[in-house]
Amino acid sequence: MDLTTTLTGFVALYIFMLAAFTGYEIIGRVPAILHTPLMSGSNFVHGIVVVGAMYALLNATSLVEQVIGFIGVLLGASNAAGGYVVTERMLEMFKPSKADAARQQKK
């Protein structure tokens, strides 16, 4: 299929390089207490693979491709949804404890 964007050669390399620095910068400044939630959060972000799997499945022309594409979308969707729920549950806990800390300091 014909895509309007073509990302070949150096354009792709530029994207990869800038994205790599972005990831490095984001994690580099994070306090240790957020390492697990952030690992989980980045685990969620690569769940975007589901989009690629959908593309592969929609363009499938044989039974084998359909089966593998189906598995791909299934796994990708699980990665995204599971990553989201787990990360949100972890981060949710940081809120009440912050409030507690503030309350205790006021006392």
Partner 1 sequence: MHPQFIIDASYFAAAFLFIYGLKRMSSPVTARSGIVVAGLGMLVATLASFLYYFGVDEAARPHLPVNITLAATALVLGTSWAWWSGKRVAMTAMPQMVALYNGMGGGAAAAIAAVELLRPGAAHAAVPLVVTVIGALIGTVSLAGSLIAWAKLNGNINGTWRMKGQQVLNGTVFLATLGLGLYIVFVAHGHASPGLTAAFFAGALIFGVLMTMPIGGADMPVVISLYNAFTGLAVGAEGYVLQNPALMIAGMVVGSAGTLLTLLMAKAMNRSVSNVIFSNFGASGDEQQGEIKGSQKPAEAGDAAIQMRYASKVIFAPGYGLAVAQAQHKLYEFVQLLVAAGVEVKFAIHPVAGRMPGHMNVLLAEAGVPYDMIYDLEDINGEFKEADVAVVIGANDTVNPAARTNKSSPIYGMPILNVDQAKQVYVIKRGQGKGYSGVENELFYADNTNLVYGDAQKVLVAMIQAVKSLEGGH
49-78 residues in contact with partner 1 (CB under 8 A) are 49-62, 64-66, 68-78
Chain centroid to CA 11: how far? 23
| Residue 14 lies near partner 1 (rule: CB under 8 A) | no
| Residue 12 lies near partner 1 (rule: CB under 8 A) | yes
Q: How far is the CB of 90 from partner 1 (least distance, A)?
A: 5
Apex 68 CA angle, 58 and 63, nearest 5: 70
Q: Which of 10, 28, 106, 107 binds partner 1 (CB under 8 A)?
A: 28
Helix, strand and coil content of the chain, in percent to the nearest 5, comes to: 85, 0, 15
